[in-house]
Chain A
Amino acid sequence: SQQGEEDPQALSIQEGENATMNCSYKTSINNLQWYRQNSGRGLVHLILIRSNEREKHSGRLRVTLDTSKKSSSLLITASRAADTASYFCATDAWEAGNMLTFGGGTRLMVKP
């Protein structure tokens, strides 16, 4: 079963706009990660946020984590056409033997 669930499932925006994707999970976690997948390719790690962190930045990416709500958000600012991809959150938890489980992903399309 999937631990994380992304919302929305699909998002279409214009270049230059910000894109926000959300992830909810069910059990207490150690860490939460976000990955990106271009069509037909493997996943690439974007950012990791630990359970005791609330916000993290990496370039145009901003990730927040609210453990009380069991949710995380990924914000991509000033989006570019090259940001078009699917984005997945992944969590690891003691209850799951520390293995990473992935959500269903958000398919982002950035129109030029």
Chain B
Amino acid sequence: GAGVSQSPSNKVTEKGKDVELRCDPISGHTALYWYRQSLGQGLEFLIYFQGNSAPDKSGLPSDRFSAERTGGSVSTLTIQRTQQEDSAVYLCASSILQGSGELFFGEGSRLTVL
């Protein structure tokens, strides 16, 4: 596709369930980021993938959160045993350049934990 694609766009789940959020970056983009945005707030960094380097996981809020990037392309963010405070919009972005490049964002996945 022409842009960053995220799915699902909306996800409602019950507390304690696991969820998977998917991000398809722009083809050829080596850098991929996941951010979390609560209502009316800024972006909270979660994890950063750059090429074949080990990902920077320093922003993951707990061990219930994990992410992988297969084949340097598609990424999946997994949240295990979801809690109500996990409710937020999860944004994925990709860049052709490491760090200083312009980020292209997907439209986000809105997660609601009941």
Contact = CB atoms under 8 A, between A and B. Distances in A.
Interface of A: 2, 30-31, 33, 35, 41-45, 48, 88, 90, 92, 97-105, 107
Contacts of B99: 30, 92, 97-100
Contacts of A99: 33, 45, 48, 56, 99
Interface string B40-56: 11110100100000001
Instruction: Summarize B's interface: helix, strand, loop or mixed.
Output: loop
13 contacts: A30-B100, A31-B100, A41-B107, A42-B91, A42-B106, A42-B107, A45-B103, A45-B104, A90-B103, A92-B99, A98-B98, A99-B45, A99-B99
A64 B41 CA distance: 24
User: 8 tightest CB-CB pairs across the interface, nearest first?
Assistant: A98-B99, A42-B105, A104-B42, A102-B43, A92-B99, A45-B102, A43-B105, A31-B100
A39 B41 CA distance: 12
Nearest to A105: B42
A44 B56 CA distance: 23
B108 interface: yes
Contacts of B45: 99, 101-102
Contacts, number: 57
Interface residues of B, number: 22
Contacts of A98: 98-100
B26 interface: no
Interface string B45-84: 1001000000010000000000000000000000000000
Contacts of B56: 97, 99
Nearest to B110: A40
Contacts of A102: 35, 42-43, 45
Contacts of B42: 2, 88, 102-105
B107 to A, nearest CB: 5
A101 B106 CA distance: 17
B21 interface: no
A3 B45 CA distance: 11
A33 B102 contact: yes
B111 interface: no
